[in-house]
Amino acid sequence: MPAGRYWLETLGCPKNEVDSDKLVGQLTAQGYVAADDPTDADLVVVNTCAFIEAAREESVETILALSDIRAQGSRLVVTGCMAERYGQELADSLPEVDLVAGFGEDLIQPASVRVAIGRRPDTRAEASLLELPRTAAAGPWAYVKVAEGCDRRCGFCAIPSFRGDQRSRSGPSVLAEIEALADGGTREAVLIAQDLASWGLDRRASGEALDVLDERQPGVQPLVSLVGQAAQAIERVRLLYLYPSGLTEGLIEAILATGVPYFDLSLQHASASHLRRMRRWGGGERFLERIAAIRAAEPSSSFRSSFIVGYPGETEADHDELLEFLDEAQLDWAGFFAFSPEEGTYAKDLDGQVPASLVAERLAEVTERQDQITAIKRDDKVGAILTVLVDEPGIARSTAEAPEIDGVIIVPDSLEAGTMVDVEIVASLGTDLEAVVRARP
Ligand code: SF4
């Protein structure tokens, strides 16, 4: 007899999806089973996102919508970034919510508890969510979260203010999760963290053992060793969110050696002076050098990045520099976000706020420019023979496409999910490609 039925709604980024996988593991261990429908659940959980205003609005709308339809007597629990960031304030403004629970808190609490945040005596308790076992893999690929929090303080970003400093999982724990995923049939592990390239540096700084990973090679970037070992455990290893200064030669070599030449560089802008205002490293010239070096080593490498438009102080010249950078870098994929002044960030009250109409204009311009570049890059693939992983009937990805954020390759429905197949690209449809089965010559 189960303890009850739960419904879990997940909003926000891939990192939140991993947290939700772990929450499912926690609830399953507590005797709960998944409900078929939110109206049928005893426990309705919303794992929220607080990244920007639009994400917060979506989270509140979801909470209210679920509150309207949930069964009488069920409990509504809000967790995730909004819970952690707004805690008591959220509980006060949403009387519909029975419990606001922070990271790693038990979702099953006595009715008298409305807010459970940071009550754990263990200050590294968030790590307990990271370390919770996940339930069996959901499909051919899975996110693997290797660290929580961030030690950087980029001017626009509120994440460190509520996720805290970086806490990395140990190497063996990450590898054990990847091995378990591979044993369950997963073929691609997508490693994620707020600042993935810095994985392990906190453990090294605090004197905690990195276990097997870098003790034989002190000074080596911990992620280099992790990527090498992960690639032994599963067929594809993909890395997301690499801070550009962390993309060292050693890491580039390690990524290329995995056979997945995919580089997701978190660049945010191209103007060096503007990046300093953002409190970030780098500049267009340095980025271009790094990209050229990677392409020289592996011409089939794919690149993704994200950029912020309209951060305070962004001049017309900065914007032009970004456009020129896009032309030269020829990235396969890029996402553009309008600056959003977030509570608790350095940039919130900075001088030089860019008017919303100008931000919208600049956003449209960079998006249009990149859309053209992406379309041409996709056209160039017509005629290529690629090995793809079939995610679900009709949908596959080569090494050039990350799940959920990039385009896909449309393949015959007859191909079985979870298989790797050689295909020939026969058409380009904007961001997606179409392919037929074809053996390599
Ligand atoms: S590196 Fe990423 S998560 Fe860390 S402060 Fe900068 S933008 Fe935020």
Summarised one tens digit per residue, pLDDT across range 328-347 is 999 999 999 999 998 889 99
Atom in ligand 1 nearest the alpha carbon of residue 163:
3
Ligand 1 center to residue 217 CA distance, Å? 28
Q: Residue ranges per domain, the chain?
A: 4-116, 126-377, 385-437
- Half-sphere exposure in the Cβ direction for 217 (13 Å, CA): 11
| Atom 3, ligand 1: residue with shortest CA distance | 194
Cβ-contact 144, 191 below 8 angstroms:
yes
Instruction: Look up the pTM and report it.
Output: 0.82
Structural contact between residues 146 and 190, judged by C-beta atoms closer than 8 angstroms: no
User: Rounded to whole angstroms, how far apart are CA atoms 10 and 135?
Assistant: 16
For residue 195, the CA-to-ligand 1 centroid distance in Å is 7
Separation of CA 152 and ligand 1 centre (Å): 6
What's the gap in Å between 149 CA and the centre of ligand 1?
A: 9
Residues in contact with ligand 1 by the CB-under-6-Å rule are 150, 152-154, 157, 159-160, 194-195, 243
Low-confidence ranges of the chain (pLDDT < 70): 119-138, 206-219
CA 133 to chain centre: 19
Q: Which of 81, 150, 241, 306 to mutate to test the pocket of ligand 1 (most atoms within 8 A of CB)?
A: 150
**Ligand 1 centroid, distance to 263 Cα (angstroms):** 17
Phi, psi of 370 (to 5 degrees): -70, -35
Query: DSSP 3-state assignment of 252?
Result: helix
Has domain 4-116 been given CATH number 3.40.50.12160? Answer: yes
Torsion of CA 418, 146, 161, 20, to 10 degrees: 40
Scored b (16 or more CB within 10 A) or e, 148-163 reads: bbbbbebbbbbbbebb
What is the C-alpha to C-alpha distance for residues 302 and 239, in angstroms, rounded to an integer?
A: 12
To test the pocket of ligand 1, the residue of 152, 201, 241, 345 to mutate (highest count of ligand atoms within 8 Å of its CB) is 152
Q: Which tokens belong to 241? A: 């969110």
Best mutation site among 145, 156, 157 for ligand 1 pocket (most ligand atoms within 8 Å of CB) = 157
Question: Do the bridges between strand 188-192 and strand 236-239 make them parallel or antiparallel, or are there none, so unpaired?
Answer: parallel
Task: From the CA of 280, give the closest atom in ligand 1.
Answer: 6
* Distance from Cα 154 to the centre of ligand 1, integer Å: 6
Q: Provide the 8-state DSSP code for 388.
A: E
What is the pLDDT at residue 126?
A: 43
Which atom of ligand 1 is closest in space to residue 153's alpha carbon?
A: 5
d(CA 160, ligand 1 centre) in Å: 7
Cα of 11 vs centre of ligand 1, distance in Å, is 19
- Report, in angstroms and rounded to the nearest whole number, the Rg of the chain calculated over CA atoms: 22
Lookup result for tokens 């949403």: 94
Class of domain 385-437: mainly beta
* Cα atoms in the 13 Å half-sphere on the side-chain side of 411: 27
Contacts with 123 (C-beta within 8 Å, 6 or more apart), sequence order: none
Which fold does the domain 126-377 belong to in CATH?
pyruvate-formate lyase- activating enzyme (3.80.30)
Give the pLDDT score at 120.
44
Residue 211: its pLDDT value, please? 41
Inter-residue contact 101 to 76 (CB < 8 Å): no
